[in-house]
């Protein structure tokens, strides 16, 4: 398909008029969300919007993100060990300028979409050429890209990409994506809990008992603006205590998201004695419910099993609103498994632009990847 080309945009206002029609099935590639990235991306992130054309006709859209890890306040403060210290040193000194083809802020195959069938040979070529174009762009600005990563592919896609331009790029598999498939017969939480074995029905009942005294409120844009500082404080605590970070959200991110996406973006606040002590957020993405960032007060989280109750509340929303699946992401694997989410393997591809370092990318990556030990649960009958 020799007539397929791409154009890289840096401003949402410059995108073709039919961009959202082409991106119809993925809200993370539609202009309201891209506007959120443009207005409130992390301070160390720059976003690029890629239009893919057949002759003059837009047939595909894609996203790329550049991260400057030198601007990061912390890589994560949960783990304090020699391996973590070495990892942080390596990233600061040899991998601080990172280019992602895809969306590093969410989990899932959200890097590109097409409105017609395109072969994987063409897709792999386009992605590699986009990366090369962006490497050149930054080189002209005096910035050397160290790492290039093509992010989050399900097995059927990664296996096809490896047959073509990705064949010489190192494939890695980090933590799995936790996905809850909603049974078509579930219409309420009673249907869901009836499908659980006794051990996990008892877990649900204990969590709900602990949750007494907490009130939940869906936040309007006005509420989000009023609680912005507190929302960010709660989010920042959770993010700071993650095992590894490459960014922190901008302080106006949640209000910008709510303003741009309206009812497609939901934020639920958790209150105790009138004080906001936690929140979770969701994006309604066609038939998929995408869990987004959350935050909580650690002391109350332990006392009230706040995080587990958030998972149940998001599950309830997904069931009652007719979604087919809920994407829970790739953290807290065991507790998500206990509510019925399944571990779905996802792959990425990565290379270092220094050919000598790239020769050792596999052993370097495997040694620096955080260790994750967890036990898969089987809560359903």
More confident residue, 6 or 362: 6
Contact 114, 157 (CB under 8 A): no
pLDDT for res 214: 97
Tell me if 4-174+347-368 shares its fold with 178-343.
Answer: yes
Mean pLDDT of the chain: 92
pLDDT for res 273: 96
Residue range 336-367, pLDDT digits in tens: 999 999 999 999 999 999 999 999 998 887 77
User: What tokens does 301 get?
Assistant: 């989280």
Residues near 241 by Cβ (< 8 Å), separated by ≥ 6?
76, 77, 78
User: What tokens does 298 get?
Assistant: 């650690």
Measure CA of the first residue to CA of the last residue in the chain; give whole Å: 49
- DSSP state for residue 196 in the 8-state scheme: B
Rounded CA-CA distance 193/186 in Å is 10
pLDDT for res 315: 98
Mean of the pLDDT values across residues 276-280? Answer: 98
Which CATH class name applies to 178-343?
alpha beta
User: What tokens does 53 get?
Assistant: 């054309």
- CA distances 172 to 7, 150, 185, 209, Å, are 28, 10, 36, 41
Buried b (16+ CB within 10 A) or exposed e, 327-354: bbbbebbebbbbbbbbbbebbbbbbbbe
Strand positions, DSSP E, the chain: 4-9, 45-54, 57-68, 97-101, 112-114, 147-154, 170-172, 177-181, 215-218, 265-272, 275-285, 288-296, 325-329, 342-344, 346-352
Which CATH class name applies to 4-174+347-368?
alpha beta
Q: How many residues does the chain have?
A: 381
Contact 83, 32 (CB under 8 A): no
Residues near 117 by Cβ (< 8 Å), separated by ≥ 6?
none
Residue 1: band (very low, low, confident or very high) from pLDDT cuts 50, 70, 90: low
Residue range 311-339, pLDDT digits in tens: 999 999 999 999 999 999 988 999 999 99
pLDDT for res 241: 83
The residue written with tokens 């992602």 in the block is: 100
Mean of the pLDDT values across residues 83-96? Answer: 55
Residue range 233-253, pLDDT digits in tens: 999 999 888 766 788 999 999
Residue range 18-72, pLDDT digits in tens: 999 999 989 999 999 999 999 999 989 999 999 999 999 999 999 999 999 888 7
DSSP H/E element including 282: strand 275-285
Q: 103, 109, 97: which is closest to 148 by C-alpha? A: 97
- Phi then psi for 301, rounded to 5 degrees? -55, -45
Mean of the pLDDT values across residues 218-240? Answer: 96
DSSP H/E element including 215: strand 215-218
pLDDT for res 77: 46
pLDDT for res 75: 44
pLDDT for res 247: 87
pLDDT for res 363: 86
Residue 78: band (very low, low, confident or very high) from pLDDT cuts 50, 70, 90: very low
For 142, the 3-state DSSP assignment is coil
- Phi then psi for 207, rounded to 5 degrees? -65, -45
Rounded CA-CA distance 58/6 in Å is 9
Residue 3: band (very low, low, confident or very high) from pLDDT cuts 50, 70, 90: confident
* Global confidence as pTM: 0.91
Q: For 105-109, 130-134, 187-191, 267-271, which range has the lowest pLDDT when averaged over its residues?
A: 105-109
Residue ranges of the domains in the chain? 4-174+347-368, 178-343
Rounded CA-CA distance 291/282 in Å is 5
């Amino acid at each position: 398909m020799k007539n397929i080309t791409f154009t890289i945009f840096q401003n949402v206002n410059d995108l073709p008029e039919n961009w959202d029609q082409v991106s119809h099935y993925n809200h993370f590639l539609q202009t309201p969300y891209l506007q959120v990235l443009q207005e409130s991306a992390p301070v160390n992130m720059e976003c690029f919007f890629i239009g893919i054309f057949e002759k003059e006709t837009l047939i595909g859209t894609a996203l790329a993100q550049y991260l400057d890890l030198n601007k990061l306040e912390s890589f994560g403060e949960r783990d304090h060990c020699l391996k973590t210290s070495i990892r942080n040193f390596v990233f600061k000194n040899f991998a601080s300028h990172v280019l992602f083809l895809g969306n590093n802020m969410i989990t899932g195959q959200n890097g590109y979409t097409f409105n017609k069938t395109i072969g994987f040979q063409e897709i792999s070529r386009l992605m590699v050429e986009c990366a090369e174009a962006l490497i050149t762009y930054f080189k002209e600005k005096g910035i050397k890209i160290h790492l290039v990563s093509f992010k989050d592919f399900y097995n059927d896609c990664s296996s096809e990409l490896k047959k073509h331009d990705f064949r010489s790029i190192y494939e890695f598999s980090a933590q799995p994506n936790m996905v809850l498939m909603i049974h078509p017969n579930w219409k309420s939480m009673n249907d869901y809990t009836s499908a659980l074995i006794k051990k996990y029905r008892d877990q649900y009942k204990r969590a709900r008992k602990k949750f007494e005294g907490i009130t939940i409120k869906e936040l309007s844009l006005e509420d989000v603006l009023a609680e912005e500082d507190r929302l960010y404080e709660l989010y920042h605590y959770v993010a700071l205590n993650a095992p590894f970070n490459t960014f922190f959200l901008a302080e106006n991110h949640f209000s910008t998201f709510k303003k741009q996406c309206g009812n497609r973006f939901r934020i639920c606040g958790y209150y105790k004695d009138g004080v906001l002590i936690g929140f979770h957020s969701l994006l309604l993405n066609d038939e998929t419910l995408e869990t987004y960032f959350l935050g909580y007060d650690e002391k109350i989280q332990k006392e009230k099993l706040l995080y587990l109750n958030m998972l149940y509340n998001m599950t309830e929303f997904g069931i009652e609103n007719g979604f087919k699946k809920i994407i829970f992401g790739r953290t807290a694997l065991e507790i998500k498994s206990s509510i019925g989410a399944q571990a779905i393997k996802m792959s990425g591809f990565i290379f270092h632009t220094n050919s000598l370092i790239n020769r050792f990318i596999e052993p370097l990556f495997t040694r620096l990847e955080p260790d994750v030990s967890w036990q898969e649960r089987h809560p359903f009958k």
